[in-house]
Amino acid sequence: MDIAVVNKLPTRAANAALVLCVAEKKNSPQYSLPAEAASAITRALKRGDLPKTANKTLVLHDVPGLSVPRVVLQRTGKLRKDRASATITEQALGISDALKNTGCDNVIIVLEAIDHPSTMTAAAVAQLMATVIAAEQYQFTEHPRQEKSAPSALKTLTFVADKKLTTGVKRSAARGVAIADGMALTKNLGNLAPNICTPDYLGKLARKMGKGDTKMKVSVLDEARMEKLGMHAFLSVSRGSRQPARLIAMDYRGGKKNAKPIVLVGKGVTFDTGGISIKPSAAMDEMKYDMCGAATVFGVMKVCQALQLELNVIGVVAAAENMPDGEASRPGDVVTTLSGQSVEILNTDAEGRLVLCDTLTWVEQFKPKAVVDMATLTGACIVALGHVCSAVLGNDDDLVDELYAAGQASADTTWPMPLWQDYQSQLDSNFADMANIGGAPAGTITAACFLSRFAENYPWAHLDIAGIAWKSGANKGATGRPVPMLMHWLMSQVR
Ligand code: BES
Ligand code: MN
Ligand code: ZN
């Protein structure tokens, strides 16, 4: 999507729509218009065609006195300072909805007339609106189909802003679109069929992303290399699969030469049957989304490349497929991790932590400033937090606080859970240093407890994204989250 920033209402905008906010009890928009236009709009509002509910819209055509063919009137609700980014997101979704399946190719938003909370700058509003509106244009077209969906019509997002804001708004809105582009990659990878999106596919994609970018160096480790290193927990997961595992690193150096990198680690289980501890078959297809942590890493790296972000970021993907087979791990198997600690695999369906633990040890070589892993790790996270936010846990309170704040600012929220010592004993094993499951209580926390034992040598946070990475039901599809939150956090780290 293209971004335009202008300082007054465009006089020629052939197929555009102009968005105007209307406060709860008002019959006129919060923006001064030519008298002829204002009275036509007031007449329409007095007829009661715009519901009083926040974010509802009414599209008017050929309003006299305006050069745009459409006006989108949008009701605004009560402003709540603590929901600033959520409010803007809901407004942007309302606008996208109103223009879906129309021929409109350019949406014009008067920033000054957007009823935004005072806690957000105009540039921040533009960035968030650009992300949401551009992300709403996403369509999945990666699989061959005879029935082609119509390409989306919306091509341009135009902001009308004060002259002195032009540069800032333009830069922020472009960032917003770049984030939506990253989310589109994340969604595509999540939505791809699991017979296509294999660990090897992800390795090849990383290589392709590294080609021609002098700032990014890509390495892909195969099973022989991982075996030699001693990553036996990781390899125990792919042993039952015909698809060989891959450990992928995308080393992006956009920052100062000696600045320690931020390392992002993604769970890339390209299909999770549960292994010998096999899952029930209902909705098992959705376990193709068990690589959404990895897909998030790819999306974020793409945004870093597009924005030439001045930061050192290493995206690491632990890719494997979890299948039942004669070679697959059995419940009761004991494996030695790269760290030297042994693990009793009591449930082969708790495989995410097995690929992640060796990866967390492996990334120590990068001497990270911080490590953040993201994983569709536990069904328990959905029980606890639903599909609203991810869970964040870690060994560094400042890092956890930063991620929480980035979630609030981007409307891609995360909520802290306690990573207390008190939970660690649930992982006790009679036959190894630890078991790979901690029983039913506090499943998200005990999974993080397991990981914490491999992340002791750097500031670390873990995001359980099981509830937010994809949607089920009629609108089944990957969401592209938590790319917005992570990008917000990374951009705050640029000095
Ligand atoms: N990928 C699943 C977690 C999951 C399940 C995410 C459903 C989203 C929806 C993970 O590998 C898993 O199977 N976890 C087990 C852990 C248990 C065996 C301790 C779970 O949550 O049931
Ligand atoms: Mn599993
Ligand atoms: Zn899994």
- What's the pLDDT tens digit per position in 397-427? 999 999 999 999 999 999 999 999 999 999 9
CA–CA gap between residue 153 and residue 172 (Å, rounded):
23
Tell me which of 70, 75, 302, 353 is the catalytic residue.
353
The answer to whether 231 and 247 have CB atoms below 8 angstroms apart is yes
How many angstroms does the Cα of residue 298 sit away from the middle of ligand 1?
22
Q: How far is CA 431 from CA 289, 423, 449, in A?
A: 33, 19, 19
Q: Angle at the Cα of 388 (from 384 to 390), degrees rounded to 5? A: 65
Sorted by where each begins, the domain ranges of the chain are 2-168, 185-493
- What number does the ligand 1 atom closest to the CA of 436 have? 19
Q: Kindly report, residue by residue over 290-338, the tens digit of the pLDDT.
A: 999 999 999 999 999 999 999 999 999 999 999 999 999 999 999 999 9
109-142 pLDDT, tens digit each: 999 878 777 789 999 999 999 999 999 999 999 9
> What is the pLDDT at residue 236?
99
d(C-alpha 202, C-alpha 220), whole Å: 10
SS (H, E, C) 256-316: CCCCCCEEEEEEEEEEECCCCCCCCCCCHHHHHHHHHHHHHHHHHHHHHHHHCCCCEEEEE
- Could you read off the pLDDT of 430-449 as tens digits, one per residue? 999 999 999 999 999 999 99
Structure tokens at 340: 């030297």
pTM above 0.85, yes or no: yes
For domain 185-493, the CATH class is alpha beta
The answer to whether the beta carbons of residues 264 and 318 sit under 8 Å apart is no
Asked if residues 130 and 410 have their Cβ atoms less than 8 Å apart, the reply is no
Which residue has its alpha carbon closest to ligand 1 atom 18?
Answer: 350
Q: Among the options 279, 302, 369, 453, which is catalytic?
A: 279
For ligand 1, is residue 384 a contact (CB within 6 Å)? no
* Closest ligand to Cα 269: 3
pLDDT tens-digit series, residues 267-292: 999 999 999 999 999 999 999 999 99
Query: What is d(CA 4, CA 257) in angstroms, rounded to the nearest whole number?
Result: 35
User: In 3D, which of 52, 50, 63 has the Cα closest to residue 18?
Assistant: 63
SS3 string of the chain? CEEEEECCCCCCCCCEEEEEEECCCCCCCCCCCCHHHHHHHHHHHHCCCCCCCCCCEEEEECCCCCCCCEEEEEECCCCCHHHHHHHHHHHHHHHHHHHCCCCCCEEEEEHHHCCCCCCCCHHHHHHHHHHHHHHHCCCCCCCCCCCCCCCCCCCEEEEECCHHHHHHHHHHHHHHHHHHHHHHHHHHHHHCCCCCCCHHHHHHHHHHHHCCCCCEEEEEECHHHHHHHCCHHHHHHHCCCCCCCEEEEEEEECCCCCCCCEEEEEEEEEEECCCCCCCCCCCHHHHHHHHHHHHHHHHHHHHHHHHCCCCEEEEEEEEEEECCCCCCCCCCEEEECCCCCEEEECCCCCCHHHHHHHHHHHHHHHCCCEEEEEECCCHHHHHHHCCCCEEEEECCHHHHHHHHHHHHHHCCCEEECCCCHHHHHHHCCCCCCEECCCCCCCHHHHHHHHHHCCCCCCCEEEEECCCCCEECHHHCEECCCCHHHHHHHHHHCCC
Which atom, in ligand 1's list, is nearest to the CA of 379?
A: 21
**What's the pLDDT score for residue 365?**
98
Question: Position 19: which residue type?
Answer: V
Ligand 1 atom nearest to CA at 267: 1
354, 378, 427, 464: residue to mutate for ligand 1 pocket, most atoms within 8 A of CB: 378
**335-351 pLDDT, tens digit each:** 999 999 999 999 999 99
pLDDT tens, residue by residue, 347-404: 999 999 999 999 999 999 999 999 999 999 999 999 999 999 999 999 999 999 999 9
Residue 31 has pLDDT above 90, yes or no: no
Sorting pLDDT into bands at 50, 70 and 90, what band is 77? confident
Burial of 66 (0-12, 13-18, 19+ CB in 10 A): buried
pLDDT digits (tens, 9 = 90+) for 213-268: 999 999 999 999 999 999 999 999 999 999 999 999 999 999 999 999 999 999 99
Would you identify the CATH topology of the domain 2-168?
A: Leucine Aminopeptidase, subunit E; domain 1 (3.40.220)
Q: Largest Cα–Cα distance of the chain, in whole Å? A: 82
- Respond yes or no: is residue 43 known to be catalytic: no
Distance 350 CA to ligand 1 centre (A): 6
